[in-house]
């Protein structure tokens, strides 16, 4: 019985130490979540302005024929299948609950729906979990980026966008989708797959039709020095803002998922400690009762 009591006591001590760790990790994740939410608020103002300009350009038909002049469009006219790339955003680390498994599962479903049985697609992995998963699956991981900051900077994303854009311009693929978990609240995230490339008027038709503010504004523009010059400045900024926004959004979901997972682990540790302490007290009480019974039995034997 003594060994059993020591084992239970050791488990209680060990579980309490684990709870201290998970509590600390929850506080760290919550702090990161608060930081990135403040950062996202200021970024959203910039992204909204860039999106507004691009939507206006689409309404003004400045984007019409943009892809018609590219080699991609010509290739697609001759082929019934498009070479698609999927940029999947995951975390580099674990202990983030079901975050990584959710985005990978949803991305796979989106790929199956979008690409069907075709194997003519490639993966651009932002985050180690996604890169490792698709490599093990034998998929074509043509690009991977690890070590995204907890609160990513805009300069980090420029490298990713420039690489993806160069691959597109070089004809590595015909279209690119960004797949990630959109942050709804601390307990909820929602999968998104947004088309990043090519950028043309068709990409904005649904957005423009739903954008009330854009509807109310005039779509007429006087362009100086030229439409081409405007597009050369605005479209790269739009691509950067789209991917940067997706990474910020995904990182927010990651921190929220991590905080929730650590809180759940702490709660489970509390439940286990309560159960172990009850088990310990019962075992200790049983041991004391046995000792009292043995002493009483011995006294009765001596008195006879």
How far apart CA 249 and CA 243 sit, in angstroms, is 10
Q: Which tokens go with 260?
A: 């929730």
pLDDT at position 89, please?
A: 95
What's the pLDDT at 64?
60
Report residues of the chain scoring pLDDT below 70.
1-3, 57-81, 200-228, 230-231, 297-304
Check residue 74 and give its pLDDT. 41
Alpha-carbon distance of 41 to 243, in angstroms, equals: 16
Answer whether 126's CB lies under 8 Å from 90's CB. Answer: yes
Is 299 buried (19+), middle (13-18) or exposed (0-12) by CB count in 10 A?
A: exposed
Residue 153's pLDDT is 87
Task: Give the distance, in angstroms, between the CA of residue 75 and the centroid of all CA atoms in the same chain.
Answer: 33
pLDDT of residue 175: 92
Domains and CATH numbers, the chain: 2-21+263-303 (1.10.287.80), 28-262 (3.40.1380.10)
Q: How far is CA 190 from the centre of its chain?
A: 10
- Which pLDDT belongs to residue 180? 95
Name the CA radius of gyration of the chain, rounded: 29
């Amino acid at each position: 019985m003594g060994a059993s009591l020591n084992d239970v006591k050791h488990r209680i001590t060990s579980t309490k130490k684990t709870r201290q760790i998970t509590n600390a990790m929850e506080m760290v994740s919550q702090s990161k979540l608060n930081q990135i939410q403040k950062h996202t608020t200021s970024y959203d103002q910039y992204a909204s302005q860039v999106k507004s300009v691009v939507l206006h350009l689409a309404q003004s038909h400045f984007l019409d024929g943009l892809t018609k002049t590219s080699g991609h469009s010509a290739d697609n006219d001759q082929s019934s299948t498009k070479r698609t790339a999927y940029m999947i955003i995951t975390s580099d680390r674990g202990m983030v609950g079901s975050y990584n498994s959710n985005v990978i599962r949803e991305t796979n479903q989106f790929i199956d729906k979008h690409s069907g049985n075709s194997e003519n697609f490639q993966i651009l992995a932002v985050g180690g979990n996604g890169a490792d998963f698709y490599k093990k699956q034998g998929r074509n991981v043509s690009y991977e980026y690890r070590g995204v900051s907890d609160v990513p900077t805009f300069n980090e994303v420029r490298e990713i966008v420039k690489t993806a854009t160069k691959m597109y311009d070089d004809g590595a693929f015909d279209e690119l989708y960004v797949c990630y978990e959109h942050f709804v609240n601390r307990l909820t995230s929602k999968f998104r797959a947004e088309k990043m490339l090519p950028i043309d008027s068709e990409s904005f038709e649904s957005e423009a039709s739903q954008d009330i503010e854009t509807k109310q504004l005039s779509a007429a523009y006087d362009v100086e020095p030229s439409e081409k010059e405007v597009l050369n400045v605005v479209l790269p900024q739009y691509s950067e803002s789209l991917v940067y926004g997706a990474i910020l959004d995904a990182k927010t979901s990651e921190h929220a998922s991590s905080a929730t997972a650590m809180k759940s682990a702490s709660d489970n540790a509390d439940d286990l400690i309560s159960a172990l302490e009850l088990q310990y007290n019962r075992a200790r009480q049983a041991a004391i009762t046995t000792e009292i019974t043995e002493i009483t039995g011995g006294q009765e034997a001596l008195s006879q």
